[in-house]
Amino acid sequence: MTTATMAVPAPRFADLLAAEWLKLRSLRSTYWALGVSALVVIAFNANAARADYADYPRYDTVMRAHFAGNALSDAFTNGAAMILILTAASVGAGTVVGEYSTGLIRTTFAAVPDRRALISAKATVVTAVITAYGAVVASVSFAVTQAILSGRGLGLSIGHPGALRVVVASALLAPVSALVGMAMGVLIRHSATTMVLTTGLLLLVPTFFTERYHWTACIRNALPFNAWGRLVQVDYGHMPYALAHRYPSTVAGAWVVFAVWAGVAAVVAVGVVGRRDV
C-alpha cells in the first residue's frame, strides 16, 4: 500500500511577518538599543535648545531676526542624527547578522525555503518598527526643544513653515538607515565588519566630499546624511553668516535620495539572499 505525501503549504506572508515581529520583540537588546538611544537623542536636542535659551540675550540683531532657523536646528541636531543613524543601522543589521552568527539562519531557511519572501517580511517589520521609533523620537524632540525655547517666547509650533518637514525627515532617516544596515548585514554577514562599514558609509563617507567641485557635490548631495541635512535646514542658503552653496541641492532631490537608498537597500537584501548560499 502506498501513501500519498501531502505537500506542506508555503507559509503566508502574514505568517512570516508575525514570525519576524516575534523574533524582533523577543530580543532584549532591541529594547535597550531603542530605549537608551531615544533618551540620548532627546537629551542632545534638549541641550542644544537649552544652550540657545541661555545664549539668546547675547545674540546680535541679525541672529535674533533669523532665530527661527536656530529653533528648528535645535529640534534635531547633527549629533542626535548620528546617534539615530547608528542605532537604526545596528538594529537593521542585527536582525540578519545575528541569525548568521548563531547559525539559526540555516534553520530559518529550512523552515521557509522562499528566502526572498522571508527577507521581505524581515525588512517590512524592521521598517515599521524603526519608523515608529524615529517618529516618536523626532516628535518628542521637537516638543521638548520648543517647550524649552518657549521660556523666552521663541518656541515654534508644528505649523510653522518647515517645522513638519524637520520632524518627518528626522523620523524617516531612521528606517532608511535600518534598511542600509540590513543590506550590509546580508552582504557581509559578520557583526563587527558590518557595523564598521555601515558606519563608514553613512557617517564617514559624507565628510570626504565637499561642494568644491560639481562631481563631489553630486556625490555629497546623494548621501542620506547630507540629504537629511538639506531637509532640516529650512533657511538653506539664507542663514546669516552662512557660506554660499556652489552647487545647491533641492528639497525634492533630498526626498528622492531617501527613497532611492531605502529602495535599493531593500532590493539588495532580498536579491543577495535569493542568490547566495547560506
C-alpha to C-alpha distance for 81 and 74, rounded to whole angstroms: 11
* pTM for this model (two decimals): 0.90
Residue found by looking up cell 541641492 in the block: 249
Rounded CA-CA distance 168/154 in Å is 21
Residues in the chain: 278
What's the grid cell of residue 239?
Answer: 542663514
Element (H, E) at 196: helix 191-199
Give residue-wise pLDDT tens across range 232-244: 988 776 655 455 5
Q: Where are the alpha helices (DSSP H) in 222-250?
A: 224-232
pLDDT in tens, the chain (278 residues): 444 445 556 678 898 999 899 988 888 889 999 999 999 999 999 999 999 999 999 998 888 888 888 899 999 999 999 999 999 999 999 999 988 888 788 888 888 888 899 999 999 999 999 999 999 999 999 999 999 999 999 999 999 999 999 999 999 999 999 999 999 999 998 888 999 999 999 999 999 988 888 899 899 999 999 999 999 988 776 655 455 567 778 999 999 999 999 999 999 999 998 666 55
Rounded Cα–Cα distance for residues 223 and 175 (Å): 15
Using one digit for the tens of pLDDT, what is the confidence trace for 198-234?
999 999 999 998 888 889 989 999 999 999 999 998 8
